Chains A and B, each alone.
Chain A
Amino acid sequence: MSQVKTSSNPPIKRKKRGGDKKAALLLLPSFLIVSVFVYVFITYTIGVSLAENWMPAKPNMARGEDPFATYKNLFLNARFQSDLRNSFIFTFLFLLVTVIAGFFIALAVHNMGRSKGFFRGVFLLPYALSFIVTGVVWRWLFNPDSGVNLFLQYSGVAAAYKSIKGEELRPEWLTSATTVGDVGALLEKIIPGGEIIQVQMGIPLALIPVIIATAWQLLGFAMAMFLAGLVSIPDELREASMMDGAKGSRYYRSIALPMLAPIAITTLVILTHVALKIFDLIYAMAGSGIGFATDMPGIFVYESMYKALKYNTGAAASIVMLAIVCVIVVPYLIHTNRETKGH
C-alpha cells in the first residue's frame, strides 16, 4: 500500500469544476436507497416513539398531550435503567479485556516465526462464528452443573477453596442475581434527580460470563487489527531504533505505540459500537437474566416491539440506543472524512 501512495500519480485533469457529474449521477441510486433505509426509516421510528398509540395495523402517528411521555416513562422504567447500567458496564469491561489482551496477543504473534499463521488462525476462528452459535455453546459452558465449574473441581481449585474458606466454590455464573459494588446511593446524591434510580448501580455478576464469551469471539478481531498495524510499521524504523541502541521495550513505547494509535482508535470505535448494540449473543446465551441482570437495550427493544407489542416504547428505546452509538461513531466518521480530504 505504501508503494502506491508514494508513486507519483499525476492528478487527473477534470473538465469542469464540479467534477464528474456522470459519476455522481451513477452513485446517486445507491446513495438514495441507503438514505431511505437509514435516515427516512430512523425519522419514521422517531415518529412512532413520539406517537401516542401507533400500531402496525393502524399506523396512527398522532401525538398525545406530552409527546415525550414515552421517553420519560422509559427512563423511569426499572428494566430500562438496568439495561443502561448493564450496557455501560458490559461495554467498559469488554473493551478493557478485549483491547488490552488483543494488543498483547498481537505483539506476541507478530514476533513469531513459522508458527505465526497457526496462532493467528486459532485466535481469529471464533470471529467467523455466529453470535447465536457462540451464545448457545457458552450458555452450557457456564451452566453451574457443568463446564467451567467442572474444571474448578478437576483442577483442585474448588477443593482448595473449600479447605481455606470452609464453603463450597460453585459460582452461579449466568444464574447469579448478585450485584457487587453498588454506588446507587452515591449517584443519588451527586446526580440531580438521582432519586429516580430504582436499580442497584453495581456490577451484576451474571454479566461476567457474558463478557468472557463476547471477548472470546472478538479478541481475534482486535488482534488482527493490531497485527495489521504492526505490519505497516516500516522496517526502517525498527532498524533505526536498533542502531540508536533502543531496547525492545523502548522501541514499543516510543515508536510502535504512537504509530499504532490510529488503528487502536479504529478498533476501539468498532468494538464499542458492537458492544453497545450487542443483542443476539446475550439473547441466546442468557436472555434477560434474573432480575434483568443480563438484559441489554437491544433485547429490550426487541421484546417491547415483538413480544409486548409496545411499539412506541420499543421505538423510543431504539432511538436512545442510536443516540448513544452516534455519540461514539459520528465524531469518528467526521474525523476520518476530514483526513481523507486533506490527502
Chain B
Amino acid sequence: MSTDTLEKVNSRAHKSAHSRFGSRSRRVQFVFLCLLVPLFTMPFYVMIMAAFKTPQFAEVTTMWLPPSPFSFDGLQEAWSKLSPNFLNSFTMVVPAVIISSAIGSFNGYLLSKFTFRFSNIMFTMMLVGMFIPYQSVLIPLVKFLQLVNLYGTTPGLVLVHVVYGIPITTLIFRNFYVSIPKEIVEAAAIDGAGILRTFFSVIVPVSIPGFVVAGIFQFTNIWNDFLFGVITISDPTKQPVTVALNNLSGTQTVNWNVLMAGALIAAIPTAMAYLGLGRYFIQGLTAGSVK
C-alpha cells in the first residue's frame, strides 16, 4: 500500500472515529481526564512548592500553600548534601547505558537477522534475567565483585548494571531490527562482508532510533536503581543519588523542605529525559514487553 492511500485511509478512519463516539461522550471523557490531571500532578506540586520554601515556613501543616517568601535555601542545602552522589550517579549511568546498549544492539542483530540452533532457548534464558528478583543474586554478586576487586567501586556498579541490562537491551534491539529488511544484510553478504563488518557498516548507521529508545530506557532504569547501589557500595560518598536521598530521608535532623528539594534534584535528570524524548521513552516501554 502506498503511503498516499494509507494516509487517506487513516484520515477517513479518524473522521469516522470522531463521528461514532459522539461529541457528547467525548466531552465526558475529556472532563474525566481533566479531573485526573490534578490528582496526578499533586505530588509534583508539593515537591516543587516545598523545595522553594524557607525552613521557617516549611511546616508540614501548610503543605499545600505556595512558598512565601520564595527561597532557594532548601535547594541549596539539598544540593550541598547530594551533589557528590548526584555526580556519582552520572559517572555510573553514562558508561552503563552506552555499554549495555552497544551489547544489546549486537545481540539484537544476531537474534533477528540470523537463524541458528538454540537461538530461541538462549534468548529466553537471557530474558529470565530481567524478571528475577535481584535479591536472589546479591550474596554471590558481592562475593564476585570482591573477587575481581571491584566491590565498592563505580566500575563494579557499572558492570552489574551492564550485565543485568543485557536482557532488556537485547530485547529492545531485537524488536527494533525486525523492521529493518533482511535484504540489506543479504546484499552486504553478497558483497563479501562478514557478520561483524555488516553490523558496523550496515546495521549501526540505521540504528540511531534504536539507540535513543534503548538509551533513554536504560538511563531511567539505572538512574532510578536503589538495590544494587546500596548493596555494592557501602561508602556513603560513593553511593548513587537514590541511596543518598534515602539516607537523607532517614535522618531526623533534616528539614522537610530540604528533603523535598532533594527528591526534586534526584528526579530532574530522568524527568528531563522523559519530557524531552517522551516519544522514544514510550517506545522503549512498550518494546520492553516481550513480543
Chain B residues, Cβ within 8 Å of A38 = 125, 128-129, 132, 137
Does B236 sit within 8 A of A, measured CB to CB? no
Q: Is the Cβ of B124 less than 8 Å from the Cβ of A333? A: yes
Q: How many residues of B contact A (CB 8 A)?
A: 110
Q: What 0/1 pattern do residues 15 to 40 of B give for CB contact below 8 A with A?
A: 01110110001100110110011001
Chain B residues, Cβ within 8 Å of A145 = 60-61
* Nearest CB of chain A from residue B289's CB, rounded to whole Å: 4
* Nearest CB of chain A from residue B190's CB, rounded to whole Å: 11
Q: Is the Cβ of B138 less than 8 Å from the Cβ of A318? A: yes
Chain B residues, Cβ within 8 Å of A270 = 289
Beta-carbon nearest neighbor of B115 in chain A: A19
Closest 5 CB pairs of A and B: A235-B13, A19-B116, A130-B224, A23-B114, A128-B274
**DSSP majority for the A interface?**
helix
A284 CA / B242 CA spacing, docked (Å): 10
Q: Is the Cβ of B139 less than 8 Å from the Cβ of A42? A: no
Interface members, chain A 313-342 (any B CB < 8 Å): 314-315, 317-319, 321-322, 325, 329-330, 332-334, 336-337, 340-341
Does A257 sit within 8 A of B, measured CB to CB? no
Chain B residues, Cβ within 8 Å of A151 = 64
Chain A residues, Cβ within 8 Å of B10 = 235
A44 CA / B115 CA spacing, docked (Å): 33
Interface members, chain A 31-71 (any B CB < 8 Å): 31, 33-35, 37-42, 44-45, 48, 56, 59
Chain A residues, Cβ within 8 Å of B121 = 337
Q: How many residues of A contact B (CB 8 A)?
A: 117
Query: How many pairs, one residue from A and one from B, have CB atoms within 8 Å of each other in the complex?
Result: 317
Interface members, chain A 143-158 (any B CB < 8 Å): 143, 145-147, 150-151, 154
A59 CA / B139 CA spacing, docked (Å): 11
Q: Is the Cβ of A140 less than 8 Å from the Cβ of B63? A: yes
Does B206 sit within 8 A of A, measured CB to CB? no
Does A197 sit within 8 A of B, measured CB to CB? no
Q: Is the Cβ of A9 less than 8 Å from the Cβ of B182? A: yes
Q: A4-B178, A42-B132 are in contact. Are A137 and B260 (CB under 8 A)?
A: yes
Interface members, chain A 10-37 (any B CB < 8 Å): 12, 14, 18-24, 26-27, 30-31, 33-35, 37
Does B87 sit within 8 A of A, measured CB to CB? no
Q: Is the Cβ of A37 less than 8 Å from the Cβ of B245? A: no
A150 CA / B116 CA spacing, docked (Å): 62
> Hey, which bits of chain B sit against chain A, CB under 8 A?
1, 9-10, 12-13, 16-18, 20-21, 25-26, 29-30, 32-33, 36-37, 40-44, 46-47, 60-61, 63-64, 103, 106-107, 110-111, 113-129, 131-144, 163-164, 166-167, 170, 178-179, 181-183, 186, 194-196, 220, 223-224, 226-227, 231, 242-243, 245-246, 249, 256, 259-260, 262-263, 266-267, 270-271, 273-275, 278, 281-282, 285-286, 289-291
Sample 17 A-B pairs with CB under 8 A, ordered by A number.
Answer: A20-B116, A27-B107, A30-B103, A37-B141, A38-B128, A111-B25, A115-B30, A119-B33, A124-B281, A132-B226, A224-B286, A248-B21, A306-B231, A314-B135, A318-B133, A318-B135, A319-B136
Q: Is the Cβ of A224 less than 8 Å from the Cβ of B249? A: no
Q: Is the Cβ of A20 less than 8 Å from the Cβ of B115? A: yes
Q: Is the Cβ of B110 less than 8 Å from the Cβ of A283? A: no
Chain A residues, Cβ within 8 Å of B167 = 34
Most A CB atoms within 10 A — which of B29, B107, B136, B179? Answer: B136
Name the contact of A128 in the complex, choosing from B131, B179, B220 (C-beta under 8 A): B220
Q: What 0/1 pattern do residues 108 to 121 of A give for CB contact below 8 A with B?
A: 11011101000111
Does A292 sit within 8 A of B, measured CB to CB? no
Q: Is the Cβ of B166 less than 8 Å from the Cβ of A9? A: no
Beta-carbon nearest neighbor of A139 in chain B: B249
Beta-carbon nearest neighbor of A146 in chain B: B60
A127 CA / B224 CA spacing, docked (Å): 10
Chain B residues, Cβ within 8 Å of A216 = 40, 43
A251 CA / B194 CA spacing, docked (Å): 51
Chain A residues, Cβ within 8 Å of B16 = 238-239, 242
Chain A residues, Cβ within 8 Å of B44 = 125
Chain B residues, Cβ within 8 Å of A173 = none
Does A105 sit within 8 A of B, measured CB to CB? yes
